[in-house]
Structure 1
Amino acid sequence: MKFTVKQIATLLGGEVAGNDELAITGLAKIEEGKSGDISFLSNLKYEPYLYTTQASAVIVDRSFEPKKPVITTLIFVENSYSAFTRLLEEYNRQQSLGRVGIEQPSYVGEGSRVGELSYQGAFSYIGKNCQIGKEVKIYPHAYVGNNVRIGDHTVIHAGARILDNCIIGQHCVIHPNAVIGSEGFGFAPQPDGTYKTIPQLGNVILEDFVNVGSNTTIDCATMGSTIIRKGAKLDNLIQIGHNVEIGKNTVIAAQTGVSGSTKIGDNCVIAGQVGFAGHLTIANGTKVGAQSGVGKSVEEEGTAINSSPAFGLKESMRSLAIFRRLPDLEQRLTKLEKKNEKS
């Protein structure tokens, strides 16, 4: 990457205070910046570094007013964090544009079509009758099964598996070793105590702008589709069961498990190590605290829940405060009982 400060400011809709002709060749944290780097200041805890950083330019909020002289060039924008994210996206796009074509050995099955400016890394596999969009990046050792559809500009990282009949939208990112479309956990108990496998005949649909973290598994539906809606972001090490639906722009942190047929609404925030029972409905905008166990549906939008079993956040925090005071409360109760006995 090599841009001038002026070009970056134009990209971000910002205003420059300083030398707008400086060349920018890298991105860095504000405390680690060196000549040629650009950084950002969003959290004012890091403001002292602004006055010592060697970075050539720093992106700051329009409302920011330096308390000391600043030697670096500043780019003023509406939201420095969002602007730097936009810059990271552009940097990533520039980096990935260099990967085009087919490395060998790799395989493309009969009837499959791959769009222009796409990349297929060494030892990658694309099955039969697949439709791969333009500028799709399929990295080494990735596997794409039969009858898969992948939209434009999607990235399938090394070792990821997209199994038969799955549909991946545009601008999605599947991180290393994620598995999309694995067989759902369906077994019917038999009179003799054994279990009979129930065939899982459905697929998985990822809508546009979905991110799936490393080692996350999304099971195919028994019938129909497991669906991850537009803009949802899944962290590493998440288990999504069969016939689950995850709403638009919902974010789920690592080590969360969602049991079969549960439907999580739009714009929910799920912290790490949360467990959802099956066949639940979780309302839009629900927030779930870390390590919560959700055993019943959430009907009211914007609800915050916590604990295991999960219940209202305020109630759970009050309960926790009381729980911590139990030894003291016990002593006080014992003293009162003894006082009553004497009287």
Structure 2
Amino acid sequence: MEFTLGQLAQLLQGKVEGDETLKVSRLDKIQEGAAGGISFLSNEKYEPFIYQTEATAVIVSEGFKATKSLKTNLIRVKDAYTGFTTLLEAYSQFTKASLVGVEEPSFMDPSSQIGELHYRGAFSYIGKNCQIGNNVKVHPQAYIGNNVKIGDNSIIHAGAKIYADTQIGSHCEIHPGAVIGADGFGFAPQEDGTYKAIPQIGNVIIEDHVSIGANATVDCATMGSTVIKKGAKIDNQVQIAHNVTIGENTVIAAQAGISGSTEIGSNCVIAGQAGIIGHLKIADKTTVGANTGVIKSIKKPNETVFGYIGMDMKQFLKSYSIFKNLSDLEKRIKELEKKP
């Protein structure tokens, strides 16, 4: 694929400084740029590379001012990082759109329906009574169980497993190895010390524009639905338990775990390895720091919580009752120190 700088500037709503007829066919890191490539500069610590790069063009923000002579052409946009992201999205969409057709061997039950411009990779499996939209890409060795619904322009990557009755919206991306709709962790303790499995008869609903990372797991509900709302982004190796609700545009980083029946609000940020116990409610725009353990509901929006120490539970709760009052105790100590 080749595009002129003028065409790219039009796509990015920017302006070329240099020869807009020059063509690029590759996306490069600025420190590795070579002729025929295009890069971007958004972090000032990489600025020295713009004076050395051999890239044909570099995307920069409107406010960038060169302090030395440049060998490259510039495309000025409102924000360089956003502009380059737009370019990456366009490139990705173009690449994925080229995947059309059915590779053999693959299987789709005759009772299922799939839309136009779809792709089914080798060894993929689609069960009974599925409804799959237009331009859906099902990559090799992906498994889609019975009664699954998938909206237009969604991608099921290699080796992903979509259990029966799952609903996936439009423009979603399920990355390799993800498992959607496996049984929730439900076991009833018995008098003899054993555990009896509780049937998990619910499903998973994933709304539009959701991304589920590689090897992430989203369990089906015991009853009802586990719900991932519109625009949520789930990183690799995240565990979302049964009957959890993840709000719109919430992002969850790698190795975080959300226990059963917890409700996460919209526009929250859950950092890596955070753990949230079950049956809590987390308010909108909450930030949970890395390795943080959340053991009670967060009721006020825009809160940031951080910190976790593993210790005897009773000792921890006693210590916590003191810890949360440390600021008041410090104030009282300072007042006492001022007294004669």
Q: TM-score, normalised by structure 1?
A: 0.89
Question: 1:47 maps to which residue?
Answer: 47
- Matched to 2:94, the amino acid is Q
Distance in 2 between residues matched to 1:224 and 1:83, nearest whole Å:
41
- Matched to 2:14, the amino acid is G
Within a 5 Å distance, the mapping from 1:324-343 to structure 2 comes to none
Kindly indicate whether residue 253 of structure 2 is the aligned counterpart of residue 257 of structure 1: no
Within a 5 Å distance, the mapping from 1:59-138 to structure 2 comes to 59-138=59-138
Question: 1:204 maps to which residue?
Answer: 204
Question: 1:153 maps to which residue?
Answer: 153
SS in 2 for 1:181: strand
- Matched to 1:226, the amino acid is T
Within a 5 Å distance, the mapping from 1:297-336 to structure 2 comes to 297-308=297-308
1:273-293 superposed Cα distances (whole Å, 9 cap, x missing partner): 001000000010111111010
SS in 1 for 2:96: helix
Distance in 1 between residues matched to 2:146 and 2:203, nearest whole Å:
12
| Structure 1 segments (4+ residues) deviating >2 Å | none
Question: 2:9 maps to which residue?
Answer: 9
Within a 5 Å distance, the mapping from 1:209-224 to structure 2 comes to 209-224=209-224
Question: 1:27 maps to which residue?
Answer: 27
Distance in 2 between residues matched to 1:309 and 1:153, nearest whole Å:
44
Distance in 2 between residues matched to 1:247 and 1:40, nearest whole Å:
33
SS in 2 for 1:81: helix
Distance in 2 between residues matched to 1:135 and 1:198, nearest whole Å:
38
Q: CA deviation at 1:172?
A: 0.6
SS in 2 for 1:226: strand
SS in 2 for 1:31: helix
Q: CA RMSD in A?
A: 1.4
Distance in 1 between residues matched to 2:33 and 2:181, nearest whole Å:
42
Q: Where does the alignment leave 5 or more consecutive residues of structure 1 unmatched?
A: 311-315, 323-343
- Matched to 2:292, the amino acid is S
Within a 5 Å distance, the mapping from 1:144-293 to structure 2 comes to 144-293=144-293
Distance in 2 between residues matched to 1:263 and 1:284, nearest whole Å:
10
SS in 2 for 1:95: helix
Q: Where does the alignment leave 5 or more consecutive residues of structure 2 unmatched?
A: 311-319, 327-340
The answer to whether the 8 A contact 1:295-1:309 is kept is no
The answer to whether the 8 A contact 1:114-1:132 is kept is yes
Percent sequence identity over matched residues? Answer: 58
Q: TM-score, normalised by structure 2?
A: 0.90
- Matched to 2:47, the amino acid is E
Q: CA deviation at 1:309?
A: 6.2
Count residues with an aligned counterpart. Answer: 313
- Matched to 1:290, the amino acid is A
Q: CA deviation at 1:110?
A: 2.7
